[in-house]
């Protein structure tokens, strides 16, 4: 059978190589380690927004979230030499960010602050539906901040960051089963908290 015959045959189902985000990240890490600084810049562009919003939800302060996001990437860049690749880069980066956020909360004993409905209303006269939606969102955010820390982080990583339970477990240093249990209890507690306010 000649080379041309092989080229004309359709590939078997599932035989084509799929490039996953994990593979892309691993390639960028390898390129950075090989001396290509632009590769790390690509990783920053890819994850900066997600890490920032994770930090903002965790610490409740936009300026601090921006600072913590920058620190997370600096810490990741400094740690890449020792990064063994046992976990995905994304999971490893989220773990760095979560730990920085927890340290910040511990060191500063701050709680997430909410924007007041009045401040939002002063920007212009929103429609009644927008006010109701804003109030519902405020109530939900306030209820999330009342969850125990592990439940809150599990819920935020699972819902806002769309991570799998396995990834959540790796980030929080727990088992996949524990992550599922924390998520279940977080949802149950949120329903209770929101029901109390009704």
pTM: 0.64
Q: Determine the pLDDT at residue 131.
A: 56
> Higher model confidence: residue 82 or residue 133?
82
Check pLDDT > 70 for residue 116: no
As a whole number of angstroms, the distance between CA 92 and CA 136 comes to 33
Query: For the domain 20-111, what is the CATH code?
Result: 1.10.1740.10
Token pair 């960028």 in the structure block, residue? 28
pLDDT band at 107 (very low <50, low <70, confident <90, very high): confident
Check pLDDT > 60 for residue 49: yes
pLDDT band at 194 (very low <50, low <70, confident <90, very high): confident
Token pair, residue 84, equals 């063994």
Q: Where are the domains of the chain?
A: 20-111
As a whole number of angstroms, the distance between CA 119 and CA 138 comes to 12
The dihedral built from the CA positions of residue 181, 184, 186 and 188, taken in this order, carries a sign that is: negative
pLDDT band at 15 (very low <50, low <70, confident <90, very high): very low
The dihedral built from the CA positions of residue 167, 170, 171 and 172, taken in this order, carries a sign that is: positive
Question: Mean pLDDT score of the chain, rounded to an integer?
Answer: 78
């Amino acid at each position: 059978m000649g080379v041309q015959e092989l080229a004309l045959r359709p590939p078997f189902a599932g035989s084509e190589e799929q490039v996953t985000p994990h593979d892309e990240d691993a390639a960028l890490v390898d390129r950075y380690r090989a001396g290509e600084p632009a590769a790390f810049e690509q990783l920053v562009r890819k994850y900066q927004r997600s890490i920032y919003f994770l930090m903002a939800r965790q610490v409740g302060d936009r300026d601090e979230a921006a600072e913590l996001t920058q620190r997370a990437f600096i810490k990741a860049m400094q740690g890449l030499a020792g990064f063994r690749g046992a976990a995905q880069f994304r999971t490893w980066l989220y773990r760095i960010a979560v730990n920085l956020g927890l340290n910040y909360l511990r060191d500063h004993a701050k709680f997430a602050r909410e924007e007041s409905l009045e401040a939002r209303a002063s920007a212009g006269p929103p429609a009644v539906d927008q006010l109701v939606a804003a109030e519902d969102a405020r109530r939900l955010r306030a209820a999330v901040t009342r969850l125990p820390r592990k439940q809150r982080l599990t819920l935020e990583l699972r819902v806002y960051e769309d991570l799998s339970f396995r990834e959540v477990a790796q980030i929080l240093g727990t088992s996949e089963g524990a992550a599922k249990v924390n998520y279940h209890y977080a949802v149950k507690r949120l329903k209770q908290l929101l029901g109390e306010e009704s």
